[in-house]
Structure 1
Amino acid sequence: MPEVEPDITADELDKEVLEELRSLPGDLADLVGRHLVAAERALEDDDPDRAHEHTKVARRFAARIGVVREAAGIVAYRAGHFSEALSDLRAARRMTGSDVYLAVIADCERGLGRPERAIDLVRSPEAERLDRAGRIELTIVESGARRDLGQHDAAVITLQRLPELRDPQPKPWSARLAFAYADALADAGHQEAATDWFGRAMAFDEDGETDAAERYAELTGSVIEDLEEDFDDDASYTDDLATGDLLGMEAHEGRVVDVPERADVPDDQGSGSQDAAEPQQASVGVHGGDVQDADVQDAEVRKADVADPEDPDAGARDVEAQDTDGADREAPTESPQVPDEDPRVQAEKPGVPDEQPAVRHHEAEQDERTQDRAADRPDAPEAKEHGETPGITPAFIEPDFGDALGEPTADRPKTDD
């Protein structure tokens, strides 16, 4: 007696099967039910011989139960025991009165070398009572019987009469029907058409129910490997490759973005191009709490331009901006620089002398610097046209530099303007 796995229970059977097994004693019903479940699992594992051993045990203890004889007949048919299968299925047909397995019975007749009896079953009155799926299966058996008799053209015509053969939508019988038609075409000598239909059967046969893939490979000379394993391996490799390409692309794009920005700046702009590049470096080290951190880049671009003569406070603001920019240009590698402390805060501290004269002195120096820079940089208005946003930038660089200049920025408290 074959061993039954411990986790198998009779409760896994359908309710109809359990109802029929209730006529048996409790322990016997459980034993038969467990062997039927074990046989079903063996078929799922593509092991019909092991399934056949389990159904033989079930039939020995419950030979008068219709579902048991049906199961025994189907498993024997799958295992290639056609005589035993024919006996069990005929017995089940008498017990249940169902003709659902008529196509299997006819195919067993073929397996036993009696294709004429198979054709007789196709013409029997019982065949008229079959549903659509049953009639298609019986027609497939008839086509095979015609081939057994050497009637190859008749085998092809038998399947051509089925309208389901031309249905492009996948159905439960699509793979078997297309495979049977391709097989009939191959036996009739229509190799090219057979190749096409084997390919169609292979497309329908997602579960590997037929040998369509192998037959297609034989006719085309191609090699077909395990698609599922290859798909898993290729998917893993593709994911890794795509990730690597993505990372490399990001790094490459980063370099491409930086290069054109520098290449677009003409060399004849002189110090203006250097000032335009410095705000991006300085903005990295500015803390979020400082007053001028929101528009450092706009402010620095403004510092590179000529002071607006219509703004009375532009001189005072540009004095501090030029001092800071001058230090940045003298040592560009030491950026980012921290901006100076708000002079208004320093003015409130006791003991700090009034440095208003220094402001006027720096204003004079700024006028001279402005004239020199305007003479040296004739394209400064163009830089202002592209880099400055009139009407927006002054609103963000409004701080009053007061009376004190040059105080270290690191000591400046954070203020809100």
Structure 2
Amino acid sequence: MDAEARGELRTLPKDLAVRVARHLVMAGQLLDEDPAAALAHARAARRLGSRVGVVREASGLAAYHAGEWADALAELRAARRLRGQDDAYLPVMADCERGLGRPERALDLARSPGVERLDQAERVELRIVESGARRDLGQYDAAVVTLQLPELRDRRLRPWSARLFYAYADALTEAGRADEAVDWFARAAAADRDGETDAAERYAELEGLEIIDVEEADGPFEMTDEAAGASEVPGPPSSAAEAEPHGDEADPVQPPPVEEGRAGEPGTESAPAVPFGDVTGELREERPPAGGVPAVEFKEAGPPPAEDGAEDGAEDAAEKTDEGPHA
């Protein structure tokens, strides 16, 4: 726990403060993966220390993550009274008003005087909530204008970039500007490195693409007996009789002659030892153009350099017959 929270808990008896602190720590650890369990710990801390501001704050944030909008709003209001005018709660409180079906009240909070004291991240979050409230009221064009912030054109990725790009793309979609929304969903997907949004899925939906998760394929891949036989590479003949062709069988393809002393010399080209090459996708970020965001593009790496024994690999490849490609 931070120093400020520990300072507030010192107003409680020592044993009681330890018990409350343990519940608060567990609530913080479970907040993202198990909101219901986090809320249970936060409520246990509230029963023990309801007059401590940090306890009411933790209870309000846990209720917010669990979707208990009314409880979250009540707890955060109490935290503001106990801790003094803490305007950092404004984005969460406005979103709770939206969750309760009161977008007008969310807009009132977005226009409150305390907005001027918010830091940059909190202001961006509040504008995202305000845009959502505009959409709830059917003001789709106003929702788009609300998010046209300087941060939307920031050249560097910020902690709020993915959420801001996604909200802007969502507002464009609701306003009937799907062509522009496609571009911003793509930007949101590139900025969302932690999978916080479903920007990639929304982009694929608008473009008519289908995303297939190969890890969720039905059952393991099984090779049939015919396919297995076709994929076997024939070994060397076991006898001289097998080595000689019979009847109308085609003569095996003879390897081209190799001049002695030329293979491996500088300036002499030889076949690579890797038969199928090696293509890899490598992500790299480039400096974006003015007024844009970082672009992510793929570059294709060529085949790896031939190692020692590349000449032997070339001769082995040439000795294969014309029976067709092997699987």
Residue 223 of structure 1 and its aligned partner are, at CA, apart by 4.0
For residues 66 and 214 of structure 2, what CA distance do their matches in structure 1 show? Answer: 26
1:168 corresponds to which residue?
155
1:93 corresponds to which residue?
80
For residues 228 and 173 of structure 1, what CA distance do their matches in structure 2 show? Answer: 30
Judged with a 3 Å threshold, the aligned counterparts in structure 2 of structure 1 residues 225 and 174 are, in CA distance, closer, same or farther, namely farther
Alpha-carbon deviations, 1:336-358, whole Å to 9, x = none? xxxxxxxxxxxxxxxxxxxxxxx
SS in structure 1 of the partner of residue 12 of structure 2: coil
1:116 to 89, 94, 104: 104
1:201 to 168, 173, 188: 188
Alpha-carbon deviations, 1:227-258, whole Å to 9, x = none? 999xxxxxxxxxxx97xx9799533335669x
For residues 82 and 157 of structure 2, what CA distance do their matches in structure 1 show? Answer: 34
Judged with a 3 Å threshold, the aligned counterparts in structure 2 of structure 1 residues 119 and 255 are, in CA distance, closer, same or farther, namely closer
2:171 to 184, 188, 193: 184
For residues 182 and 247 of structure 1, what CA distance do their matches in structure 2 show? Answer: 44
1:65 to 46, 52, 76: 52
2:132 to 115, 138, 144: 144
1:107 corresponds to which residue?
95
Residue 17 of structure 1 and its aligned partner are, at CA, apart by 1.3
1:22 equivalent in alignment to 2:80? no
User: TM-score w.r.t. structure 2 length?
Assistant: 0.65
* Greater helix content: 1
1:211 corresponds to which residue?
198
For residues 114 and 99 of structure 2, what CA distance do their matches in structure 1 show? Answer: 21
1:250 to 305, 308, 325: 308
For residues 50 and 224 of structure 1, what CA distance do their matches in structure 2 show? Answer: 33
Judged with a 3 Å threshold, the aligned counterparts in structure 2 of structure 1 residues 256 and 220 are, in CA distance, closer, same or farther, namely closer
2:146 corresponds to which residue?
158
1:367 corresponds to which residue?
none
Which runs of 5 or more residues in structure 1 are unaligned?
1-12, 230-240, 258-417
Which runs of 5 or more residues in structure 2 are unaligned?
217-276, 279-302, 316-327
Bigger Cα displacement from structure 2, 181-190 vs 131-140: 131-140
1:393 corresponds to which residue?
none
Residue 62 of structure 1 and its aligned partner are, at CA, apart by 1.0
Judged with a 3 Å threshold, the aligned counterparts in structure 2 of structure 1 residues 60 and 134 are, in CA distance, closer, same or farther, namely same
SS in structure 1 of the partner of residue 88 of structure 2: coil
Judged with a 3 Å threshold, the aligned counterparts in structure 2 of structure 1 residues 224 and 128 are, in CA distance, closer, same or farther, namely same
Alpha-carbon deviations, 1:154-199, whole Å to 9, x = none? 1001111x11111131111111111110110011111121121111
State the one-letter code of the partner of 1:168: R
Alpha-carbon deviations, 1:14-47, whole Å to 9, x = none? 2221121111122221111111111111124x22
State the one-letter code of the partner of 1:129: R
Judged with a 3 Å threshold, the aligned counterparts in structure 2 of structure 1 residues 136 and 248 are, in CA distance, closer, same or farther, namely closer
Q: Where does 1:38-53 land on structure 2 (aligned, <5 Å)?
A: 38-44=26-32, 46-53=33-40
> Which of 1 and 2 has higher RCO (CA within 8 Å, sep 6+)?
2
Judged with a 3 Å threshold, the aligned counterparts in structure 2 of structure 1 residues 255 and 183 are, in CA distance, closer, same or farther, namely closer
For residues 5 and 215 of structure 2, what CA distance do their matches in structure 1 show? Answer: 35
State the one-letter code of the partner of 1:147: R
State the one-letter code of the partner of 2:3: K
Residue 217 of structure 1 and its aligned partner are, at CA, apart by 2.9
1:83 to 54, 70, 73: 70
Judged with a 3 Å threshold, the aligned counterparts in structure 2 of structure 1 residues 27 and 223 are, in CA distance, closer, same or farther, namely farther
**Could you say what the CA RMSD is over the residues aligned between the two structures, in angstroms?**
2.8
For residues 157 and 64 of structure 1, what CA distance do their matches in structure 2 show? Answer: 42
User: TM-score w.r.t. structure 1 length?
Assistant: 0.52
Judged with a 3 Å threshold, the aligned counterparts in structure 2 of structure 1 residues 47 and 223 are, in CA distance, closer, same or farther, namely farther
1:33 equivalent in alignment to 2:21? yes
Judged with a 3 Å threshold, the aligned counterparts in structure 2 of structure 1 residues 155 and 225 are, in CA distance, closer, same or farther, namely same
1:415 corresponds to which residue?
none
State the one-letter code of the partner of 2:66: A
Judged with a 3 Å threshold, the aligned counterparts in structure 2 of structure 1 residues 167 and 21 are, in CA distance, closer, same or farther, namely same
For residues 53 and 10 of structure 2, what CA distance do their matches in structure 1 show? Answer: 13
State the one-letter code of the partner of 2:311: E
For residues 40 and 209 of structure 2, what CA distance do their matches in structure 1 show? Answer: 38
SS in structure 2 of the partner of residue 80 of structure 1: coil
